Copies of this chain bind each other. A is one copy, B any other.
Amino acid sequence: MRELQPIEFYFEFASPYGYFASVRVDRIAKKHGRTVLWRPIMLGVALNATGSKPNVLVPMKGEYFKRDIARCAKVMNLPFTLPKKMPMNSLSASRAFYWVNEQDTCKAKEFAAAIYHEHWGLGNDMSDIDDVARVAGAIEIDGEKLKAGCQSQMIKDKLRDITMASVDAGVFGSPFIIADEEQFWGHDRLSLLDQWLDAGHW
């Protein structure tokens, strides 16, 4: 029997659809006995590669997007507040994720959930490392150590390398899930992921 690789879950903290996927992806994977690697990325790099812009900045689409994310949250029964600043700068939150992840991958998921809740659930800007450290502190992560960790070259390289590798792997949006080389873009493809994990073919 071949060994199954973990499912790769790429997401951008500034992406609300990433938030929507984050609350469901592990549960879907678990149903099929699979694990999930969480990988925050700087989506701007991929958007540049495809000549795209963040949804919120695209004419017409931006207005639609704001309504769509509010109703998707409502239908999923998730806390949601439209942030005043969109898109936020996710550099600090993403680096912090990888710093936590080096020590404890479960804690890193908890941290990501806390950042998503703060930004998309409560609408607070999470661009500033001090705010990131505060949210980390509330789930018993040492904020000062986290801030120092985010400045290390190893962590900076980690985020940059994973982001560049994600573009090479074909990631151009958030959320973006790769399972057994099959790609799923958008939280609205999670039911397809579920079917894929069940059957292994279409």
Stretch of A67-75, A117-125, A154-162 on the interface side: A67-75
Residue in B46, B67, B74, B195 whose CB lies within 8 Å of A60:
B46
- Return chain B residues, CB-CB under 8 Å to A70: 202
Establish whether residues B50 and A60, one from each chain, have CB atoms under 8 Å apart when the complex forms. Answer: yes
Give 20 CB contacts A-B under 8 Å: A46-B60, A50-B58, A50-B61, A51-B58, A51-B59, A52-B58, A60-B167, A60-B170, A63-B170, A64-B170, A68-B185, A68-B189, A71-B192, A71-B202, A72-B192, A74-B202, A75-B192, A75-B195, A186-B188, A188-B188
Alpha-carbon distance between A63 and B172 when the two chains are bound, in angstroms: 11
User: From residue A21, how far is it (CB to closest CB) to chain B in Å?
Assistant: 13
Alpha-carbon distance between A173 and B64 when the two chains are bound, in angstroms: 11
User: From residue A146, how far is it (CB to closest CB) to chain B in Å?
Assistant: 33
Question: Cβ of A148 < 8 Å from any Cβ of B?
Answer: no
Considering the complex, give the chain B residue whose CB is closest to the CB of A57. B51
A interface, by DSSP: helix, strand, loop or mixed? helix
Establish whether residues B185 and A64, one from each chain, have CB atoms under 8 Å apart when the complex forms. Answer: yes
Question: Cβ of A151 < 8 Å from any Cβ of B?
Answer: no
Question: Cβ of A1 < 8 Å from any Cβ of B?
Answer: no
9 nearest A-B pairs in the assembled complex, by CB-CB distance: A188-B188, A60-B172, A74-B202, A71-B202, A50-B59, A50-B60, A50-B58, A61-B172, A60-B170
Alpha-carbon distance between A167 and B60 when the two chains are bound, in angstroms: 9
Alpha-carbon distance between A59 and B182 when the two chains are bound, in angstroms: 18
- Return chain B residues, CB-CB under 8 Å to A51: 53, 58-59
- Return chain B residues, CB-CB under 8 Å to A58: 50-52
- Return chain B residues, CB-CB under 8 Å to A63: 170
